[in-house]
Structure 1
Amino acid sequence: MSLSPTNPSPRILVFDSGVGGLSIVHEIQQKLPFVPLIYVSDNAFFPYGTKGEAELISRVDAVFHKLTETYAVDIIVVACNTASTLTLPHIRSHFSQPIVGVVPAIKPAAAQSKSQVIGLLATPATVARPYTHNLIREHAPNADVISVGSSELVQLAEKKLRGEKISSQQIRPILQPFFDHPRGDEMDALVLACTHFPLLRDELRIQFPAHVQLIDSGEAIARRVVSLLGDRKFAEQAPEHLAVFTKASPAVTALQPQLAQFGIHNLDILEV
């Protein structure tokens, strides 16, 4: 799908249930520093990883309709693995904008792994999803994939972004199944299959030997957004970014200094 020139300065909407999508924002900003972004956190319904499938599809549909009625948007990035692996077919059939999803980086991990023992770190919902199992069958049929699902790690990423220090004692028990697995010491690639997890890259990195590559989808998503924009030219000036939350809360207020690090200084509450 190609992008029609709807306005001189296209706006990219980056959507997540919490703050994990900011890892995708960072990657997009590296490649498109002059394009304005709308970062949307459906914090009223957070976390997505514990919700039922029909409930989640209905919720994402309702939020996207409200967002696209309120803001002019050229490209939608679903920066949430849980939502992407479940809702992409539905929203692509209901919205006219190009929609980019985030899926577990199984394919690049299988291509890079020498041992063909790959770790998959995701939410419990993404680990269990048939979509994920199909990715493994298609792109890593000969690999031994060690899957670990954690909702707690999502919460730790949220806390880190709000200024809390995360310790090894909090991280290590979550990762223990990798080390307990009979082939765990052969693992040489770890897929970070939740957009929250790259926010904890430093904390995760020190838990594994140096030869274990940490792989996520962020750069690939940014490249896809660049390709959708084609050869459009942008004014080389600092863009106005916006953060939108679906519920006002003290946690949103606490997040503002971290949003500023991504150049996001404007904030809206859009109740859905």
Structure 2
Amino acid sequence: MVEELKPVLVFDSGIGGLTVLREARVLMPERPFLYVADDAGFPYGAWDEAPLSARILDLFETLFDAHDPQAVIIACNTAFTLAGADLRARFADRCFIGTVPAIKPAAERTRSGLISVLATPGTVKRAYTRELIQSFAGRCHVRLVGSQNLARMAEAYIRGETAPDDDVLAEIAPCFIEEDGRRTDIVVLACTHYPFMANVFRRLAPWPVDWIDPAEAIARQARRLVPQVEGADPSHGWDQAIFTSGLPDFSTRRLMQGFGLKI
């Protein structure tokens, strides 16, 4: 008889982490998942660092006590670049899989040497992000674009609301640079909300670029770190979603049901 499996906890400030959950389920079909959205604190990009870090650490204290997950996927660039080291220090016996801007693969793929990182203001100003650039993209010109509005727009878009083209274009336009006959050829989507709007970005972009979605790479890393259990029954029923506000609206509940998540 196979013992009951502990869940993998996927954490995000809102519902953008569903892009990571989708990929993780493909690679870990035997595992139950717990999706946690800190919607009471959304959006993270506008927070000051100290209170946001304290909030995240306190929240995980509660989550570990209540759910004892096998591993945690921090499906939020802002949260992990800010609090990842502190989380690993405080909860040293826990397994964390982080999300950071995909600057290394972008630097490896670019032909023009012009890369843009589309992120939240919090991720853009983080020293962690600039260290990634120094470590892996020293020969590239990397433009950091911190969007104030795109995470909110993506949340609304995921729920079925229309995003005006002009508003979206205003957010992504700074990513596109022409310099000495070269053009930006890669845009890193450094917020897990953004891939849900990738088709809109492609349609509105002034020229074709490679939009890098980190979700699959995050899922692969989680699969490497989470023990695979042979003989486990993947038909473990619906996975669970938790919203810190306790008040997800109807469209959010319907979206969660579409992802096989029970609130």
**TM-score normalised by the chain length of structure 2:** 0.93
Which residue of the partner structure matches residue 243 of structure 1? 241
Match of 2:80 among 75, 80, 84: 84
SS at match of 2:216: helix
Match of 1:14 among 10, 35, 39: 10
Tell me, yes or no, if the aligned pair for 2:74 and 2:99 is still in contact at 8 Å. Answer: yes
Which residue of the partner structure matches residue 254 of structure 2? 257
* Cα deviations by residue, 1:152-182 (Å, 9 ceiling, x for unpaired): 1000111012211223222111122234664
Tell me, yes or no, if the aligned pair for 1:121 and 1:148 is still in contact at 8 Å. Answer: yes
Provide the alpha-carbon RMSD of the alignment.
Answer: 1.9
Identity of aligned pairs, percent?
37
Which residue of the partner structure matches residue 208 of structure 1? 205
- Mapping for residues 96-107 of structure 1, pairs under 5 Å: 96-107=93-104
In 2, Cα distance between the equivalents of 1:183 and 1:8?
59
Tell me, yes or no, if the aligned pair for 2:177 and 2:183 is still in contact at 8 Å. Answer: no
In 2, Cα distance between the equivalents of 1:257 and 1:159?
13
SS at match of 1:43: coil
Partner amino acid, structure 2, of 1:67: L
In 1, Cα distance between the equivalents of 2:180 and 2:227?
44
In 2, Cα distance between the equivalents of 1:66 and 1:199?
29
Gaps of 5+ in 2: none
Tell me, yes or no, if the aligned pair for 1:104 and 1:216 is still in contact at 8 Å. Answer: no
1:124 is aligned to 2:137: no
Divergent runs of 4+, >4 A:
180-185
Tell me, yes or no, if the aligned pair for 2:78 and 2:122 is still in contact at 8 Å. Answer: yes
In 1, Cα distance between the equivalents of 2:224 and 2:198?
27
In 2, Cα distance between the equivalents of 1:115 and 1:163?
36
Q: Which range is displaced more, 204-213 or 36-45?
A: 204-213
Which residue of the partner structure matches residue 190 of structure 1? 187
Displacement of 1:151:
2.4
In 2, Cα distance between the equivalents of 1:71 and 1:89?
22
Partner amino acid, structure 1, of 2:57: D
Partner amino acid, structure 2, of 1:37: F
Displacement of 1:7:
5.2
Tell me, yes or no, if the aligned pair for 2:20 and 2:219 is still in contact at 8 Å. Answer: yes
Count residues in correspondence: 260
In 1, Cα distance between the equivalents of 2:213 and 2:153?
18
